[in-house]
Amino acid sequence: MCAEQIKGGQLARQAAMLCQDAMFQLYLDRRRRAKFGIEENALPDGTHNAEDARDWICAACQIKSRAELDHNSVAAATFHRIQKRFFTWKQQQGRPQ
C-alpha cells in the first residue's frame, strides 16, 4: 500500500454495491457470451461473482481500486456509461432499477 491511499466516495460506494448485485453479475455473464460468441454451456449464468465484477469494473475503467472513481474523471465517465448500459439492459429484462 502506498503512504497516501486515496479514499473512495459516492462513486466507489455505488461501484461496490453494483458488484454485489446478482443482476449485474448476470449481466456480465450474458455480455461476455454475446461479445465473444461463447455458448451458454461454456459460460453459464452465475459464473461471475462480486470479485469478478470488481475486477471487470477496474479493468474497464483502467483503475486499480474503485476508490479512484471519485478522483479520476475519465474513469468516472466510463463507470457512468457502464451503469447506464446495465440499467438499460436490466429494464429490457423487465426488472426495475
Domain boundaries, the chain: 10-36+44-91
pLDDT tens sequence across 47-78: 999 999 999 999 999 999 999 999 999 999 99
| Distance between CA atoms of residues 84 and 79, nearest Å | 9
Residue 60: per-residue pLDDT:
98
Asked whether the beta carbons of 69 and 61 are under 8 A apart, the reply is yes
The span from the CA of 47 to the CA of 28, in Å, is 9
Position 4 scores a pLDDT of 55
Residue among 18, 23, 44 at smallest CA distance from 32: 44
Asked if 43 contacts 31 with a C-beta cutoff of 8 angstroms, the reply is no
Amino acid at 55: D
Q: In this predicted structure, what is the pLDDT of residue 32?
A: 96
Between residues 1 and 33, which one has the greater pLDDT?
Answer: 33
Q: Does position 23 have pLDDT exceeding 80, yes or no?
A: yes
